[in-house]
């Protein structure tokens, strides 16, 4: 399974790559783990539980910004509530689910999901509502190769979004974006991908 065509090309800004693998004792248990992890990957509303107390809160939403209680699909929005410098009004970051792909071969299978910064669907504004510019992307890849299940996170073209019409938001985006690029968000993504594989569903 070729993953090179899934992750966008790195052109400008920062990039991040994290990976976590589990070797299962049997092929059947690996297939079961992959199915469970695939469900958790698409269960965006539960990502905070999978990522732990340091994680942001994620809410799957429709094109109007209304919350959804189902697995993610292409075209959905995700509202992100992250710790950070406060604004006079409540600030959320938004991403768009631009791609979900599934592929299976004789000895393995793969699912990927790509997210890109987008506008706030609840507001009549054209500005990207995210601390990174719209060219940035976040790609999750979950794969099974025989008895090994691996999940990875790939951030590409990460640059602080300081081109909005709000000076306050530009300052906030600069502070949060630079913090993320310097590695302060690394632990969150590492905990999240590990939790997607290892979380014990009740």
Nearest CA to 138 out of 179, 78, 200, 63 is that of 78
pLDDT at residue 202, as a whole number: 44
The 3-state DSSP composition of the chain as helix, strand, coil percent (nearest 5) reads 25, 35, 40
- Go through the domains of the chain in sequence order and give each one's CATH number: 14-198 (3.30.530.20)
Chain Cα centroid distance, residue 46 = 12
Tokens of 39: 């469900």
Give the global pTM: 0.88
pLDDT at residue 103, as a whole number: 94
CA angle 46, 35, 80 (to 5 degrees): 25
Write out the chain's pLDDT in tens, 202 residues: 666 689 999 999 889 999 999 999 999 999 999 999 999 999 999 999 999 877 889 999 999 999 999 999 999 999 998 865 555 456 788 999 999 999 998 899 999 999 999 999 998 777 777 767 889 999 999 999 999 999 999 999 988 777 766 766 666 665 666 665 555 578 889 999 999 998 755 4
Question: Which residue spans within 39-76 are E strands per DSSP?
Answer: 57-61
CA angle 41, 42, 47 (to 5 degrees): 60
């Amino acid at each position: 399974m070729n993953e090179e065509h899934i992750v966008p090309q790195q052109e400008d800004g920062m990039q991040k790559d994290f990976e976590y693998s589990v070797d299962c004792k049997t092929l059947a248990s690996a297939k079961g783990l992959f199915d469970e992890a695939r469900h958790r990957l698409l269960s965006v509303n539960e990502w905070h539980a999978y990522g732990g107390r340091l994680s942001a809160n994620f809410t799957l939403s429709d094109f109007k910004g209304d919350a959804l209680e189902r697995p993610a699909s292409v075209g959905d929005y995700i509202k992100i509530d992250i710790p950070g410098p406060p604004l006079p009004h409540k600030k959320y970051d938004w991403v768009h689910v631009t791609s979900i792909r599934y592929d299976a071969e004789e000895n393995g299978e793969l699912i990927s999901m790509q997210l890109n910064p987008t506008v706030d669907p609840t507001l009549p504004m054209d500005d990207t509502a995210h601390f990174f510019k719209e060219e940035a992307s976040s790609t999750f890849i979950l794969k099974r190769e025989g008895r090994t299940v691996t999940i990875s996170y790939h951030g590409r073209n990460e640059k602080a979004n300081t081109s909005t019409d709000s000076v306050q938001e530009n300052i906030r985006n600069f502070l949060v974006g630079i913090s993320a690029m310097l590695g302060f968000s690394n632990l969150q993504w590492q905990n999240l991908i590990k939790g997607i594989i290892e979380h014990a569903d009740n």
